[in-house]
Amino acid sequence: MKRTVQIFLLALGALLALEVVADEGGKDQKKKLKIIPIPVYLGNSDIDSGVISKPLFDSLVKQGLTARDSGGRIYDVKSFMFTFCERNLYEDSVGNPVIITDYLSEFCFDSKLKGYQLQALLERSKWGDTVIFEKIMLEAADSTKAQGFGKAMKLIIGR
């Protein structure tokens, strides 16, 4: 009986050792695999982040989002999270002026904002506001229908 327990423990130890070795090999492969997000641009431009003037922003946001990789392959934008960060002047409890940022986030299932979203953005956006496009899901425009995700964009409206 004692010998059977020893053989069982030895076999169990060998299985655990093989499992540890297999896990370490898998970790090396995971470290080597690096997923790079596909660049996404505002409208038909090369603007993907940074400071942008109000007139240029208004003209490009109407065109929606476009995506293409470094090889020139074009992707269709299927959905994205849109966040508008609007800076406003308010009064605190004793009447002192204070600038506070209001946040509005909506999930869009297309490459463009809906009509009401676009109209409100064009009317309300001003110098100092920030627009963020994130969680961008893409699908290749060619016959492969390969899927991917886009690089997030952060645009600050300037003068």
- For residue 132, which of 53, 40, 46 has the smallest C-alpha distance? 40
Structure tokens of 18?
């093989």
| pLDDT score for 65 | 92
- Mode of pairing for the β-strands spanning 50-53 and 65-68: unpaired
Same domain? For 56 and 78 the reply is yes
Same domain? For 68 and 145 the reply is yes
| pLDDT score for 147 | 83
Same domain? For 55 and 125 the reply is yes
| pLDDT score for 31 | 61
| pLDDT score for 132 | 94
Same domain? For 25 and 81 the reply is no
CA dist., res. 125 & res. 108, Å (int): 19
Would you give per-residue pLDDT tens digits along the chain (159 residues)? 677 777 776 676 776 676 766 655 555 555 666 677 889 999 888 888 899 999 999 999 999 999 988 888 888 899 999 999 999 899 988 989 999 899 999 999 988 999 999 999 999 999 989 999 999 999 888 777 778 888 999 999 988
| pLDDT score for 20 | 65
Same domain? For 60 and 8 the reply is no
Same domain? For 26 and 55 the reply is no
| pLDDT score for 37 | 87
